[in-house]
Amino acid sequence: MADVGGHALCVAGELEADLRTVRRLYADRGRAPGQDRGGPRVEQALHTAISGLHSSAGWAAYDSGDNATSRLHHAAALQSGILAKDGHAQARAWADLSVQSRAEGRHREALTINRAALESRQARQDPRIAALLHSRLAIGHARLGDHGACARSLLAAQKAHDRFDTTAPPPPWLRFLDAAEIAGLAAIAHRATGRLPDAEKATAQALRLLGPSMHRNRAYYGIQLAQLQLAHSDTTSAKATAATVDTTAVSSPRITQRLATVHRHLATA
């Protein structure tokens, strides 16, 4: 997996919330008197809810290792966001599609998607969206070997983070994006450029900053820290780090497989 992204939230909870919204909106359509389909506002709200449902389902499929189904859901999320005329839903779908492309090895496609998303009105107006997209753009540049562009994108992400409006709650799908996640995404970029000491430092920072409820992110970055420690033959630290990784509250085959790989490497180190 390339980064945590929207996984930081409980996918099951998101799916249930989206399903409740869809059911309510369908009921509203049936009750609307004298209006075909319940009127344009209900129709657009319905498409927004369906877009969120597809986004959540896409991440659930991704976590289970089903990339094909995940991509279909993310594409459907974008289509529904367009039908809803909902810029935030579209931004979410574009951000998810960029991660999907990168995870499947299509790094230039991921970069193109990120750049296009950054030109949207939502990215220009919402520093949270901008920070997420710049962070993922940095990883894309790193994977393609453009270290200078990677550094510029990381700086842009940090500047966007500094503009977060902490007085207003973020949309549910962006609640995961905080200082810990910005540090974690920077660590992934540093690792991709071969700057392993910087990657280890940023990963440790992410773990320090993570809230107690972020079980999936803590497991993900704990495994990443152990991998980085293994990379420079610090077996003692890697063993200690891997021992602290708790996956009991995490329903992710990808996470458990990565942890199993770390333990296999430690057993032969």
- Cβ density class 195-208: b for 16+ within 10 Å, e for less: bbeebbbbbbbbbe
Q: What percentage of the chain carries pLDDT values higher than 90? A: 58
Q: 7 falls in which pLDDT band (50, 70, 90)? A: very low
What is the reported pLDDT for 133? Answer: 95
Average pLDDT on 158-166 reads 94
The per-residue pLDDT for 43 is 83
pTM (predicted TM-score): 0.82
Domain assignments of the chain as residue spans, ordered by start: 5-210, 213-269
Q: What is the DSSP string of 219-255?
A: HHHHHHHHHHHHHTT-HHHHHHHHHH---TT---HHH
Thinking of the domain 5-210, which architecture would CATH place it in?
Alpha Horseshoe (1.25)
Tokens of 151: 């550094």
Q: What is the pLDDT of residues 225-254, one digit of tens each?
A: 999 999 989 999 999 999 999 998 887 888
- Whether 34 has a pLDDT exceeding 70, the answer reads no
Structural contact between residues 18 and 49, judged by C-beta atoms closer than 8 angstroms: yes
